[in-house]
Structure 1
Amino acid sequence: MAVVITVNGLTKHYKTEAAVESLDFTLAKGEICALIGKNGAGKSTFFKMLSGQLQPTSGEIQLFGSSEPAETRSRIGFLIEEPPFFSDFTAQQNLEYFRIQRGVVEKSKITEVLEQAGLTNQARKKVREYSMGMKQRLGLALCLLASPDCLVLDEPTNGLDPEGINEIRQLLLELNQQKQVTILIASHILKELQLIATRYVFIHEGKLIETISQAELQEKCQKQLKLKVNRSDQAAQLLERNFPNIQYRCLPSGWISIQNHLESSAEINQLLVSNGVSISELRIEDLKLEDYFLQRIGES
């Protein structure tokens, strides 16, 4: 399979602080890869090095197999920070300026990308009158102007309402499935990433801690039994004593999650109650992407 982005040992230091540390990463053609991490994990720094806004301290970046990223970067549409639009220009005028600057021949591309971004009716409004969500849409339209083979998007749904988030999700899926556009995306709305990504990369404190496919995540995020009890320490002892191979975690506020023995939920309930442990809630639910990520970085 063709490779779009390859990163080897990528590192970025600010004085004594490492924003990104020895990062190895590969993005294959056709993927929708979600980069997941807390604020300050190094996601934006990584994206800025890919776009050429920051120079790495060490390491190598290859784009489309070339070790000279400047030559192939034009094939990627970047939405990392708010683009430098002219506030007194309309959306259409801004895109016309960037169309000429970037050597895009077809004037019809402006109408096309405005429609894709849901801005057709706002095309003649000046950018200074745009909300944050509308500016995000315009930034995405700018990304699409040169018909990129790959999109690198940092929080593309920032400022959008639920309807707008859904529209952007559908657009990204359409670009990927119908036009084979490869996508690398970061977002704090993990439930949205779980709806579109084919692979997940977890980054924490500048280091890549795991990469996992959609199928592998679905297998690991299988159903779990959740109990809310008044004495989690006593409940844990009872579970370990009666179910030697039980897989469980004690969570805050008296919650216990059990990953196996779901078929024994009634037996578990009876065991705890008969031994003086009060259960106020018991339910079976799917483990979410957010739960899995927090487990991986050791947080409840």
Structure 2
Amino acid sequence: MDTIIQTYRLSKKFKNAEVIKSLNFSLKKGEICALIGKNGAGKSTLFKLLAGQVLPTSGEIQLFGKSGKNLDAARKKIGFMIEAPAFFPDFTARQNLEYFQIQRGVINKRRIDEVLEIVGLAKERKKRFKEYSMGMKQRLGIALCLLSSPDCLVLDEPINGLDAEGIMEIRQLLLKLNQEKQITIFISSHILAELALLANRFVFIKNGIIVDDLTKEQLNEKSKKQILMSVDDVAKSSQLLERTYADIQYKVLPNQVIAIQNHVEHAGDINRLFVDHGVLVKEFRIEAHSLEEYFLGAVEERTND
């Protein structure tokens, strides 16, 4: 599989603050990779390093196998949307893209019509930018990214501020670009539930360090259903579980809660086991972790150890 982006021990300091710390990361052709982290985790800084908007303090970036002086040429194969593009409010979509086409030296005259069609703005080409909805503005931003026919898109919060319909439109557009045009996508968003519908890989970043890197299948496995039981005797409950189920996977949580990760299909039997042996079950429920819960739980736990 071809490597689009590769970083080796990449770091970035601003004054005394190290925002990116010795980061090793690779993005393969065809992936939709979600970069997930809280504000200040280093997401936008990593994107700006890849775009050449800021220079690394140390380490190396390779794009399409190119590095050093060849990076600028390689960046032309990537469409970056890191901050909202400065479109002219009184220009139409076509006029705005014509300006950037000249600025960026894109020779193909038909490309503007092609990208407006791809992002669903072909019928809105005469409407002025200031009359656009937020969703239309974001789609025009993606059209600008596509102007130079890139192999990869790097998108920082492309669905920020959109309503539910706008979010769905952007998701469908990005899936179409990935599946039909084979465009690799590296994306960040605060809307983790939406990333779960879009991405096939999830990279969690905290304080400039990658703390987890999961495929969609691995995330589904880690965030699958579990049994939560509030009991009056955690020690006795643990012994009963271990004696009855040799492969039991469970955690003891605060407030005398036991979280059982496997044997969910035996939830009724486990409840009966406790009751039959005199354990008072105060609360019993089955739930699935969301992407948010996985991030706030497992990742936070891991990085605070």
TM-score normalised by structure 1 residue count? 0.89
> Larger deviation: 192-201 or 61-70?
192-201
The aligned residue for residue 90 of structure 1 is: 92
Whether 1:236 and 2:234 are equivalent positions in the alignment is yes
Q: 1:247 aligns with which of 240, 245, 250?
A: 250
- Any conservation in 1 of the 2:202–2:213 contact (CA below 8 Å)? yes
- Any conservation in 2 of the 1:238–1:272 contact (CA below 8 Å)? no
- Sort the Cα spacing of 1:242 and 1:255 in 2 relative to 1 into closer, same or farther, 3 A: closer
- Any conservation in 1 of the 2:271–2:281 contact (CA below 8 Å)? no
Q: 2:210 aligns with which of 201, 208, 211?
A: 208
- Sort the Cα spacing of 1:121 and 1:250 in 2 relative to 1 into closer, same or farther, 3 A: farther
- Separation in 2, partners of 1:7, 1:223: 35
Whether 1:166 and 2:164 are equivalent positions in the alignment is no
Offset of 1:201 from its aligned partner? Answer: 1.0
Offset of 1:151 from its aligned partner? Answer: 0.3
User: Over aligned residues, Cα RMSD in angstroms?
Assistant: 2.3
Whether 1:10 and 2:10 are equivalent positions in the alignment is yes
- Separation in 1, partners of 2:257, 2:238: 16
- State the SS of the aligned residue for 1:243: helix
- Separation in 2, partners of 1:214, 1:297: 16
The aligned residue for residue 223 of structure 1 is: 225
- State the SS of the aligned residue for 2:187: strand
Q: Deviations over 1:202-234 (max 9, x none)?
A: 11111011212222222323321234x4xx6x3
Offset of 1:172 from its aligned partner? Answer: 1.4
- Separation in 2, partners of 1:77, 1:153: 8
The runs of 5 or more residues in structure 2 that have no matched partner are: 243-247
After TM superposition, the structure 1 = structure 2 runs for residues 9-158 of structure 1, keeping only pairs within 5 Å, are 9-67=9-67, 68-158=70-160
The aligned residue for residue 179 of structure 1 is: 181
Offset of 1:154 from its aligned partner? Answer: 0.9
- Any conservation in 2 of the 1:235–1:277 contact (CA below 8 Å)? no
Q: Which amino acid aligns with 1:16?
A: N
Offset of 1:242 from its aligned partner? Answer: 1.4
- Any conservation in 1 of the 2:81–2:145 contact (CA below 8 Å)? yes
The aligned residue for residue 295 of structure 1 is: 297
- Any conservation in 2 of the 1:133–1:158 contact (CA below 8 Å)? no
- Separation in 1, partners of 2:185, 2:45: 17
- Any conservation in 2 of the 1:78–1:152 contact (CA below 8 Å)? yes
- Separation in 1, partners of 2:30, 2:121: 26
- Any conservation in 2 of the 1:35–1:203 contact (CA below 8 Å)? yes
- Separation in 2, partners of 1:255, 1:112: 57
- Separation in 2, partners of 1:293, 1:89: 42
Q: 2:282 aligns with which of 275, 278, 283?
A: 278
- Separation in 2, partners of 1:129, 1:179: 30
> Larger deviation: 211-220 or 197-206?
211-220
The aligned residue for residue 267 of structure 1 is: 269
- Any conservation in 1 of the 2:204–2:210 contact (CA below 8 Å)? yes
- Any conservation in 2 of the 1:19–1:45 contact (CA below 8 Å)? yes
- Sort the Cα spacing of 1:269 and 1:10 in 2 relative to 1 into closer, same or farther, 3 A: same
Offset of 1:286 from its aligned partner? Answer: 3.1
Q: Deviations over 1:162-217 (max 9, x none)?
A: 22222221221221122211111111222222222222111111101121222222
